[in-house]
Amino acid sequence: MANAPIRLRVRMYQVGFGDCFLLTFEYAAPLADGRAVRHMLIDFGTTSLPGWDSLATPARWIKQHTAGEIDVVVVSHRHRDHLSAFGQKSLMNGFFAVGYPRLVVRSWTEDPDLDSNAVGPASRLLLRTIGAAQRFSAALAGQMGLPPARSLAADVRQVADDQLSDPAAVVALAGWARGRGRYLFYGVRSGIESFIPGLRVKVLGPPTVEQHPEVAKQRSRDPEEFWMFYRNLVEKLPAAAVDEAERADAVPDASLAESPDAGDDRLPPALDAPSPARAFGDPGPVRWLTDRMSRQQLGSLLRIAHLLDDVLNNTSLILLFELDTGAGPIRLLFPGDAQIENWDYALKVARAKVPNRRLLRSVDLYKVGHHGSRNATPRTLYNLWTEPVSINRPLVALMSTKPGVHGKTEATRVPRRTLVAALDTRTREHLFSTEGITAAEPFVELVADLNQGRAFQTVTIGSRRKGFAIDGPAEDIGEPPVDDD
């Protein structure tokens, strides 16, 4: 194919609890602008830094790898661990060369001028709901103060703080996207192909609410009022404790706002105590009861904060990239933090669900969703890679994560150990994580010679380079005789 890339480099940078990926496409001859390379940056942000205290190190390496000529910037969704770096002027000063980026790609939920033909009233309501919910999280984070790290109150503060918008990053992205932005939802053209010759992109998510109402995860008749009610409640609470029974009774049962990542989080008593600790009455049954009520209050607020986390993750882009090689297409799956409701549309509901599954069976590289959480790699998706027609196909996975930031039990831990073990087994130990990467060379790099085939030949982790020992069938995978509808 004319102007098709001959080499692909995929780099994953260490940013702590966040995502930052660079895809570099190399061509045999210069393209129309005189360059023989194209770069696409997917996300750049963190909510918990690695062992060093800034993002300056990965930013410096990205600049070295691209000379600032980043053609396409993709921001999967509005969570800070995916975009916070774009709001840091010290990092962005000189980060892009003049005239770059040429295209900024984001979810439809970030479009400042929504096309009325693209979304309807339900989608607009979702956007208003998200705004109200983020104001709730701001109030909640403010009321939590700075609790001890090992406390339930600290968990509430962490989850609420993660949901806050990053105004500086939003403003910067809007400026770069002015006249050159694309806001995607399921099934539309990405626009990326115009800037990276030879690349095909399939947008598998997110759907709009009109396409798939479940993506909104609305738990009440009036979700905007739902968030306003809890924001008003939180603003009346003392810093991290509840000292009146009626206030505890005002919070609904946790099951009303339960999320997959929060519902099973039963903390040991030492970690479940309210913080700061307060004496509510004489020792004995009254003190025990009021302490329990305070813990129930914090637990309910944690689950409500997780509900917003679910909603925002379900606005995440799911992009499937495809390039031709000498042995059939190579496919790269980047789902951001997409969760079950987002995934369900592409896998089970959309008119093209069967072709979607056929393509997903033959993925060669998987960016592990949501830093390895249990609800971002659906069993339906994983099972596609273990069917008889796909089990022997080479698969590589990249996981950007930082243990200990979210979850205190095995049911809620990120990354989830059972998922990591399953992916490591399926990829034949070709699951690569940012854990253990040092500040000296904080990235993992995979290289594929597209003329030779679709498998990656080398991986570099810092200064350590080794060849791959993976072999598999070269032919493309078709649909099995019996589908899973």
Q: What is the pTM of this model?
A: 0.81
**pLDDT tens digits for range 63-97:** 999 999 999 999 999 889 999 999 999 999 999 99
Task: Identify the DSSP state of 11.
Answer: E
Name the residue type at position 436: G
Name the residue type at position 456: F
Q: What kind and span of H or E run contains 66?
A: helix 56-66
Q: State the Cα–Cα distance between residues 43 and 319, nearest whole angstrom.
A: 13
In this predicted model, which residue has the larger pLDDT, 221 or 325?
325
User: DSSP H helical segments within 114-222, as ranges?
Assistant: 121-144, 152-162, 167-177
∠ CA 216-220-221, nearest 5°, is 100
**pLDDT tens digits for range 21-69:** 999 999 999 999 999 999 999 999 999 998 877 899 999 999 999 999 9
DSSP 3-state percent helix, strand, coil across the chain (nearest 5) = 35, 15, 50
Q: Which of 326, 417, 439 is closest to 8 using CA atoms? A: 326
**pLDDT tens digits for range 147-203:** 766 677 777 777 777 777 788 999 999 999 999 999 999 999 999 999 999 999 999
**pLDDT tens digits for range 130-151:** 777 777 777 777 777 777 666 7
Can you give the C-alpha Rg of the chain in angstroms?
23
Q: What is the three-class DSSP state of 445?
A: strand
Q: Are 57 and 462 contacting, i.e. CB atoms less than 8 angstroms apart?
A: no
- Give the pair of three-digit tokens for residue 441: 């060379």
Q: State the Cα–Cα distance between residues 42 and 21, nearest whole angstrom.
A: 5
Residue 250 has pLDDT above 60, yes or no: no
